[in-house]
Structure 1
Amino acid sequence: MPVIVLEARDLISPLFLIRTWEILSGCTTFSLVASLEDSELNKNPSTLRFNTFRVFCMFTWCFFFTLSLLIHILSVIQFHSLIPISWKNLTMTVAVLGGLMCFTASVLFPWIIMDHQRVSPRPLVAAVTSCLTVLAYSSESYILRTQAHEHRGYMGSLPGLLKTIQLWGGFQMIPLVVEVVFGLQRGVHSWQVWVTGVSYGVCLLMSLVTLVVILGDLAGRCPLPFDRFLAGFTVIGVLLYMVATVICFTKILQLRELEQQVSNESAGLVIMETVVAGITLLAYTVDLAFSTKLLCDRSHV
């Protein structure tokens, strides 16, 4: 089969230019951060413990740079039709999830990693280019959302966007749980760590399974109707995140009692976990409402 390359007018289309912007800004960001020396990072011992977040930020920038580059190349040579993946759902998922993940990295990098007492040029430029990457992914998401429904797929609908937020929330909990396991939060009971960790892990696994089914167009092969399949996952997600959110508020109360013994960094981690858990719980709750409405509508048909 001959390879078809985009025409000249397609090379100046908004989508082509925005994806080029994503690749350039993403590559610039992780290249600058990778080139930073220890003297340009925060030397405060209390923040050196948060090396997990630096790895998380670097992984985010590199991973979505790689995905965007592959999508860009496949779009140029028009080779995506030969890949057994729902292309419209893939591009929408990468755009939305990439914007959310890079936004988190853009917040974490200046907050934890940069030396706020002596800001050197390269970390500052890296923070700016990371924000530009977020803007690029947001622009691509907007362009894909404005397309016709048949061109944007399920992940471009509101339930699909909610599932992307659920996936984002699960990914955010990975570095937070790792920091908790290494004992950065004094006054937190081990059972709380295990219950929240298992809850986040189960929900993340369900989100990944749902994403694989959608991207692989495997809904017809599910042993149950796909809408009931999604509704069941959503109910489990609501229950697990309700438990996790209650535990997060409990940890906040515990840290208030140990205010003199707990560092500001540990308190910040608890607050961050509570905020992300609350946002993810809201996404699951709204998604459950959509799933319930869909099931009720179909039962009356």
Structure 2
Amino acid sequence: MPVIVLEARDFTSPLFLVRTLEVLFCCTALSLVASLEHEELNHLADHNTFKIFCMFTWCFFFTLTLLIHILSIIQFHSLIPISWKNLTMTVAVLGALMSLSTSVVFPWIIMDHKNISPRPVAAAAASCLTTLAYIAESFVLSTQAQEQRGYMGSMPGVLKILQLWGGCQMIPLLVEVFILADRVHWWQLWASGVSCGFCVFLSAVTLVVILGDFARRCLLPFDRFLAGFSLIGVLLYMLATVICFTKILQLRGHGPSAPTKNMELVIMETVVSSITLLAYTVDLAFSIKQLCDRSHV
């Protein structure tokens, strides 16, 4: 099969431009942090988990976006056994959410020190520009017809991406809380970790089924599977959210002696858990409505 390359006018299309900016900004942020000297890295040693999270996010989306960009240019994506429209929308929305997280987390960890060098600040600015580029791509893809953006471009699809984002955010937060856990009970960390880990696994399975167009091969009807998964997610994140509020009450009970870092981490964990719980609840409502509509047909 001959390789087909885009025409000249396609290289000035909004989609081509925003993907080029995504690759450029991701590479800039990744390179700036990777080139930090030993003294500058010591400033980030207190939050090594978040540094690894930011580096992984930039590296992962740089690689994935570059691959999508190349396949779009040579028009080779039709030979890949993946739903291309769902893949591009998923990467755009998830990239926007994950880049937004790094744009909040990375400035937070570098502002924790008095002496701030220029390169971390430039990396934080590049991360913010990456977020804007992914938001622009999401907007461009959302303006396409429903057939072109696929299931992940619909509201239930975006909610599932938001659920996956919430699980990905909870992992480094729980690890950091565990490292600094001198006033948090181990069973709280264990329950939150199991709940979030199980939901991330189910989100990944759902994403694989949608991207691979395996819905018709499922043993159970796919809409019932999604409804059951949403119900499990609501229950588990209700547990995680209650545990988060319990941690806040425990830390507040210690008064001024409670570490500030612990309180900030637990508040961040509570916010992410509440947003994810809201996403699962709305998704469950969509699933129930869809099941009821089909039962009346």
TM-score scaled by structure 1? 0.96
Distance in 2 separating the partners of 1:115 and 1:239: 36
Note the residue ranges of structure 2 that are not aligned, 5 or more in a row. none
For residues 37-87 of structure 1, the C-alpha deviation after alignment (integer angstroms, 9 at most, x for no partner) is: 2323564xxx63310100000000000000000000000000000000000
Matched letter for residue 274 of structure 1: T
Shift of the alpha carbon at 1:21? 0.4
Q: Distance in 1 between matches of 2:30 and 2:188?
A: 34
Report the aligned-residue RMSD: 1.2
Alpha-carbon deviation of 1:119? 2.5
Aligned-partner residue type, residue 140 of structure 2: I
Q: 3-state DSSP class of the match of 1:94? A: helix
Structure 2 residue aligned with 1:97: 94
- Equivalent AA in structure 2 for residue 3 of structure 1: V
* Separation in 2, partners of 1:97, 1:42: 30
**Structure 1 CA distance, aligned partners of 2:253 and 2:135?**
41
Instruction: Specify every segment of 5 or more residues in structure 1 that has no aligned partner in the other structure, as ranges.
Output: none
Q: Secondary structure at the match of 2:256?
A: coil
Out of 138, 141, 153, which is 1:141 matched to? 138
The Cα shift of 1:262 comes to 2.4
The Cα of 1:25 is off from its aligned counterpart by: 0.6
- Is 2:55 the partner of 1:55? no
SS across alignment from 1:49: helix
SS at match of 1:242: helix
**Which residue in 1 is equivalent to 2:255?**
259
Give distance in 2, aligned partners of 1:58 and 1:113.
Answer: 14
Give CA-to-partner distance per residue, 1:211-241, whole Å, 9 cap, x none.
0000000000001111001000000000000
Q: What amino acid is aligned across from residue 267 of structure 1 in structure 2? A: M
SS in 1 for 2:172: helix
Give, as a single letter, the amino acid of the residue that structure 2 aligns with 1:52.
Answer: T
- What is the rounded CA distance, in whole Å, between the counterparts of 2:53 and 2:265 in structure 1? 15
Question: Distance in 2 between the 1:166 and 1:283 partners?
Answer: 6
Q: TM-score, normalised by structure 2?
A: 0.97
Match of 1:229 among 219, 222, 225: 225
Instruction: Report 1:3-14 matches (<5 A).
Output: 3-14=3-14
1:166 touches 1:283 (CA, 8 Å); kept in 2? yes
Residue 120 of structure 1, CA deviation: 2.1
One-letter amino acid of the counterpart of residue 7, structure 1: E
2:36 pairs with 1:40: no
- For 1:27, give the aligned amino acid: C
**How is 1:204-219 mapped onto 2 (pairs within 5 angstroms)?**
204-219=200-215
Matching residue of 2:279:
283
Deviates more, 1:65-74 or 1:31-40: 31-40
**Distance of 2:102 and 2:80 partners within structure 1:** 30
Letter in 2 for 1:208: A
Aligned partners of 2:58, 2:278: CA distance in 1, in Å? Answer: 27
Pairwise CA distance, 1:243? 0.6
Contact in 2 for aligned 1:54/1:113 (Cα 8 Å): no
CA distance in 1, matches of 2:112, 2:275: 29
Query: In the alignment, what sits opposite 2:15?
Result: 15
